[in-house]
Amino acid sequence: MKYDCLFVGNAIVDILADVSFEFMNNQGIEPGSWRPVEKEEIEKLQTIIPDNKVASGGSAANSAVGFSFLGGSSAFIGRVKNDALGIEYIKDMDDAGVKFTSNPSETGLDTGRCLVYVTPDAQRSMRTYLGAASQLSPDEVNEESIANSAIVYLEGYLWDEDLAKSSCKKALELAKKNNIQTALSLSDSFCVTKWHEEILDLTKNVDIVFGNEDEFKALFKTEILSDAISASRSQLKLSIITRGHNGSIVISDSQTDEVVAYPPDKLVDTTGAGDLYAAGFLYGLSKNMRHHECANLGSYLSSKVISVLGPRTEKDIRELAISKGLLS
């Protein structure tokens, strides 16, 4: 089967809950914080999280689902265990129209999960148990899936685990061998700073780089946005800088497009904003839309996902985009 885009990333079950500031204070969770935790702690935290919503997640997986909802053919490479959460993860991706190309592991760590606490100001705080996702193996990156894809998209979070990093390198090598276009999400300024030289080298060897303003500043070690834009233009092929309510900037060697943001219907939860932007942009690119049109579509998806709890838009997002004149 041919895929418009193959996504490679951490397979994480998202467990999302609306919580009060009082709850956060009582649990000693700083609003806006993120912290990795071990299995014992995540299980303990799960017993006290309020009513919640569960969905298959992870940054690249969120993008894969958004891409599918727009009508694109998408696939995902990630690692889950053959446990209850892992089986549910694969089923959920399949229900969303995303082909999960990896086989669940019979041994090793349990399926990863992330508790997402959303406070009344739409801020999210996360506690993540990577579990099986951290053991993504190069053996799970198969050449057939990559050769049958128009674009291969990687999330920068993978660079924080040695085995997953090897999987990224294999995916990029196979993409290059088969002349497949590649894209990378910087994911987090902490990851960019921690692995700076490697990430910088990586960005110079992919076709498309996505990141927010802080991530691009970290990439080029500057506090000045215009300097990051100039460096992107001279060193990278195609860069997309997302800036929240300030819109986004698309940079190539020949031009720079500034695109305004779509205001959300209601700001509920910022989870998945960057992931859905990437989904919209890549879908537009797969349909040979112009860069500013791709950015408009990405901005629209981003505005819709922050209007709901969780990292997904509604399944009718394609019809909504068409009604806005963003797709035909």
In this prediction, residues 280-307 reach a mean pLDDT of 97
In terms of residue numbers, what domain contains 146? 3-9+59-84+97-102+133-323
Instruction: Tell me the mean pLDDT in the region 92-102.
Output: 94
For the chain, the domain total comes to 1
* Rounded CA Rg of the chain: 18
Give the pLDDT of residue 240. 98
Q: What is the pLDDT of residues 183-215, one digit of tens each?
A: 999 998 988 999 999 999 999 999 999 999 999
Supply the pTM of this predicted model: 0.93
In a domain, 64, yes or no: yes
**Is residue 1's pLDDT more than 80?**
no
- Say what the pLDDT of residue 161 is: 86
Q: Which residues pair with 155 in a beta bridge?
A: 185
Residue 106 has what pLDDT?
Answer: 94
- Residue range 71-93: mean pLDDT, rounded: 96
pLDDT at position 198 is 95
Domain contains 314: yes
User: Is the sign of the CA dihedral 50, 65, 134, 202 positive or negative?
Assistant: negative
Q: What pLDDT, on the 0 to 100 scale, is given for residue 173? A: 97
In a domain, 28, yes or no: no
pLDDT of residue 311: 82
**38 found inside a domain:** no
Q: State pLDDT tens for residues 9-65.
A: 999 999 989 999 999 999 999 888 888 899 999 999 999 998 888 888 999 999 999
Single-letter amino acid, residue 306:
I
- Whether 97 has a pLDDT exceeding 90, the answer reads yes
Residues with Cβ within 8 Å of 6's Cβ and at least 6 positions away in sequence, in order, are 74, 75, 76, 77, 101, 145, 146, 149, 151, 152, 153
Q: Is the pLDDT of residue 316 over 90?
A: yes
Residue-level pLDDT at 33: 85
Q: What percent of the chain has pLDDT over 70?
A: 100
Is residue 188 in a domain? yes
Residue 119 belongs to some domain of the structure: no
Is 276 among the domain residues? yes
The predicted pLDDT at position 268 comes to: 85
CATH of the domain at 63: 3.40.1190.20
Q: Cβ-count burial of 281 within 10 angstroms (0-12 exposed, 13-18 middle, 19+ buried)?
A: buried
pLDDT confidence bin for 123, thresholds 50/70/90? confident
**Domain assignment present for 216:** yes
Distance in angstroms (rounded) separating the CA atoms of residues 164 and 157: 9
Query: Each residue of 127-152: pLDDT tens digit?
Result: 999 999 999 999 999 999 999 999 99
- Per the prediction, the chain carries an average pLDDT of 94
